[in-house]
Amino acid sequence: MTESSNVQLRCELCQIEINETADQGDEVVFSRGATGSRSKLWARVCQYLKTDEQKAACINQDATQRGSEKPGDRYEEIAPVEVGSTQASN
Ligand SMILES: [Zn+2]
């Protein structure tokens, strides 16, 4: 009896849980803040995993499950102070 109909996946690396029964787009429970989508999780955390070992442990490495990254998925970063002109505008 190891199976459960309501499995909550947990990614120790990313410190999140994925609630597969939640509505799509609101299934990832972050350690703090609001819930979000898998693409959001990817944009914020999972893509930064470096080693194969880390990637193997991460539950959000499947591109077909997370979908493509959407605007707003990333942290709203404060733009680096624009000194000089090293950053091309695009
Ligand atoms: Zn992960």
Q: How far is the CA of 55 from the centre of ligand 1 (A)?
A: 8
Q: How far is the CA of 77 from the centre of ligand 1 (A)?
A: 21
Structural domains of the chain, count: 1
What is the reported pLDDT for 18? 92
Q: How far is the CA of 59 from the centre of ligand 1 (A)?
A: 5
In a domain, 72, yes or no: no
In a domain, 74, yes or no: no
In whole angstroms, what is the distance from residue 77 CA to residue 52 CA? Answer: 28
Q: Kindly report, residue by residue over 12-59, the tens digit of the pLDDT.
A: 999 999 998 888 778 999 988 889 999 999 999 999 999 999 999 999
Q: 63 by DSSP, 3-state: which? A: helix
Q: How far is the CA of 14 from the centre of ligand 1 (A)?
A: 4
In a domain, 87, yes or no: no
What is the reported pLDDT for 36? 92
Domain that holds residue 21: 8-66
2: confidence class by pLDDT, cuts 50, 70, 90: low
In a domain, 46, yes or no: yes
